[in-house]
Amino acid sequence: MLRGRDALQREQALARAGSQPLQAWSAVPLTQSPDYSRRSVAGARPLGPVIQLGNSLLDEQPGARLLLPVRLADDSMLLLDLGWLADSRPQPALLLPPQLRGQWLPWHGRWTLPGARSGVAGRVDEVAMASLPQVYPGRWRQGVLVLQPALPGLQMWPLQPPLSAQRHFAYALQWAVLALCLLLLLRPRRWRKG
């Protein structure tokens, strides 16, 4: 149920933001949380190497989301989602245009197994978000700006959750019905006679 509620909130926030005009990043206070808004950013400069977030399936193909920590014109820092790259393709040259457009989303952590590689450079299984300010000291913005469109040679990472809220709710209902059936089958005989 909780996953369904989270997915529903994200779907609703994306729908609201999709109907709003593109806003300049310069008006965003440093303390503001990601609000799914569509933003334009000028003059972003890379801080370090690309982070390849592996194990990112898109249309059932293995690949990686390419993430880049950048410094913005106001000297704050932000993580950009440049797009998705299939494992079978070489990484293209990644040049940031002077003007970027994207949607500002909260960062969603991943479920990883023990031994997963966490980091802020190279190919990782999860981004060590808490380490970004240690590696790149300064004023960090929350969340990630998912570029729309993705950089040339990359595919845009979908903004919608992979499972809709309705599918989460249906799944929860299915388990509730199965549990009820199991309770009815396993109840003591004396309850059946009464």
For residue range 130-173, what is the model confidence (pLDDT) as tens digits?
Answer: 999 999 999 999 999 999 999 999 999 888 665 555 664 556 66
147 DSSP assignment: E
Give dist(CA 4, CA 161) in Å, integer: 10
Model pLDDT for residues 46-73, shown as the tens digit of each residue = 999 999 999 999 989 999 999 999 999 9
Whole-structure pTM over 0.85, yes or no? no
Give dist(CA 15, CA 79) in Å, integer: 23
